[in-house]
Amino acid sequence: MHDAVLAAADLRAMLGADAVLAEPEDLTRYESGWRYGKGRALLAVRPGTTAEVSKVMAYCHEQGLRVMPQGANTGLVGASNPDASGEMLVLSLERLNKRLEIDPINRTAVVDGGVLLSTLNGALAEHGLMFPIDLGADPTIGGMIATNTGGTRLLKYGDVRHNLQGAEAVLADGTVVDVMNHLRKNNTGLDLKQVLVGTSGVYGVITGAVLQVVPVPRQDATALVGCASGDAVLALLKALERELADVFTAYEVISANALSPVFKHHDTIRNPYGGSKPPAYTALVELSSTLPETALNLPEVLEERLGAFLEADGGEGITDVFMGKPEDFWAIRHHISESLRNEGKVLAFDISVPRSRMAAFTDAAVALLAKDYPFVRCCDFGHWGDGGTHLNLVWNEAESPRPTPVIIEELQSRIYELAVRGFEGSYSAEHGVGPHNQRFYDAYTPEPVKAVNQALKQQLDPKGLLGTTRLGPRP
């Protein structure tokens, strides 16, 4: 067992008194995740430079102290929180946020790992630029790299991996790895930065990045399209991509079960369906462009193309079309999770399958629930444009025939098995891997992949000090 008082004294001598937190009341906010994950921290250390991160990691390596790297702690799989041992040091990047350099000609931004997404976009806006990963949370850039964040506009811009040009990381022994590449073309062997992406910080602490950024669109257009079935949703997606791919930015799909609670619990959000029952699905379509309206009027283009689809491409599956302000329609989408929490117990799944199989997968999941869990509602919504869905299952715990933990374990096992084995999908479309879904990583990851991960872990963190996620084989 490590002496917290001694470690705190050593680290304060190294970084300054206010960089180390040791009191239980000060540690609380570092110990619990946004949705999952709760543990106890030995200390919280807040270095302000890459050099200080290096010193902390070298000290922890020498002392055998386990470390949990933490950004804004907005992850959803428990991968940014210490375990229950009380022996892990939380290395917070909240003070590592000074570097923010923008090159508008190269269209890149150089940032510290602790810079918040909102701070980055605020600085980029002065140059008419943005980092195109759109999220409901406000994570750090280091955390976004560690989890390979996706977001609502992945259809157009890709995930973090697609927009990362360089990275800086500190390994477990304090070694600083600088691959801060500013080049779009650099075909010179192993791209080490990509080894760090999406690995939950278990190979190294992300302390810096070179990001590719994009021009802010001058205009956008949105529509809500009612669809009678999942097949109609996919037919519309195919038609929009065929004709509008250059400006097609987002395609979010909301089931009736997920949509109705928004209007039930938020009377300030207008229901476009009025008093009518929503159709099986509602698609939120977004177009955007850097062209001015004088060159291309997006609302007119979207309205005209949707009208043409109704006439020529099977309009029998479309029940409604509403044109409107983007902020109004996105408000509906962004209030779903909050609204569902008012409906009962929510078990959230972050699943992806091939887009062509999304409707069939959802139908199969609903059929499974109807047969064996009739007290559970499927309130699904998400990024059908990139094959992702947030399959939220909701039920009244008072009406459940078995205890909630039992129901959760059953549903997780059966839904993930359906997605991965039945539909060639993923149990984690964009939330990453952490203690919350570790057992499914163990179950579904091929052994050769685990072996490669283990070899990398042994090379980069031989003492196994970083993080709680395990990407290698079970010990």
pLDDT, mean of residues 186-210: 94
- Within 10 angstroms of residue 307's Cβ, the number of other Cβ atoms is 12
Is 230 found in the same domain as 270? yes
**Contact indicator for 102, 109 with CB cutoff of 8 Å:** yes
* Sequence-ordered strand ranges (E) for 384-436: 388-395
Q: Number of folded domains in the chain? A: 4
Q: Among 92, 121, 138, where does a domain finish?
A: 92
Average pLDDT score, the chain: 94
On the question of pLDDT at 36 being above 80, the answer is no
Output phi, psi for 211, to 5 deg: -110, 140
Lookup: tokens for 220: 């956008």
Cα atoms in the 13 Å half-sphere on the side-chain side of 418: 21
Q: Among 183, 215, 247, where does a domain finish?
A: 215
We report the CATH number of the domain holding residue 257 as 3.30.70.2190
| pLDDT, position 48 | 97
On the question of pLDDT at 76 being above 90, the answer is no
Rg (CA), the chain: 23
> What percentage of the chain exceeds 70 in pLDDT?
99
Domain residues for the domain of 42 are: 4-92
pLDDT, mean of residues 299-325: 88
We report the CATH number of the domain holding residue 21 as 3.30.43.10
- Within 10 angstroms of residue 239's Cβ, the number of other Cβ atoms is 17
Is 117 found in the same domain as 63? no
Q: Among 406, 423, 440, where does a domain finish?
A: 423
| pLDDT, position 241 | 95
- Whether 428 maps to a domain, the answer reads no
Q: Confidence band (pLDDT; 50, 70, 90) for 119?
A: very high
Is 177 found in the same domain as 123? yes
Looking at 35-84, list the stretches that DSSP marks H as alpha helix, in order from N- to C-terminal side: 50-63
| pLDDT, position 135 | 85
Is 76 found in the same domain as 130? no
| pLDDT, position 313 | 58
- Whether 436 maps to a domain, the answer reads no
| pLDDT, position 133 | 94
On the question of pLDDT at 316 being above 80, the answer is no
Residues 6+ apart with CB under 8 A from 436: 36, 37, 76, 77, 78, 79
Is 381 found in the same domain as 289? no
On the question of pLDDT at 3 being above 60, the answer is yes
Residues 6+ apart with CB under 8 A from 34: 73, 74, 75, 76, 137
Is 247 found in the same domain as 292? yes
Cα 413 to Cα 31: distance, rounded to the nearest angstrom: 27
Please report, as a single letter, which amino acid is at residue 401.
P
On the question of pLDDT at 314 being above 70, the answer is no
Is 365 found in the same domain as 407? yes
Is 243 found in the same domain as 302? yes
- Whether 59 maps to a domain, the answer reads yes
Is 230 found in the same domain as 325? yes
- Whether 474 maps to a domain, the answer reads no
We report the CATH number of the domain holding residue 134 as 3.30.465.10
- Whether 473 maps to a domain, the answer reads no
- Whether 470 maps to a domain, the answer reads no
- Whether 441 maps to a domain, the answer reads no
β-pair partners for 380: 391
Angle at 18 between CA 14 and CA 19, to 5 degrees: 50
Please report, as a single letter, which amino acid is at residue 352.
S
Is 211 found in the same domain as 107? yes
| pLDDT, position 32 | 86
We report the CATH number of the domain holding residue 361 as 3.30.70.2740
189 burial type by CB count under 10 A (0-12 exposed, 13-18 middle, 19+ buried)? exposed
- Whether 35 maps to a domain, the answer reads yes
β-pair partners for 323: 223
Please report, as a single letter, which amino acid is at residue 278.
P
| pLDDT, position 109 | 98
Is 322 found in the same domain as 275? yes
Is 15 found in the same domain as 48? yes
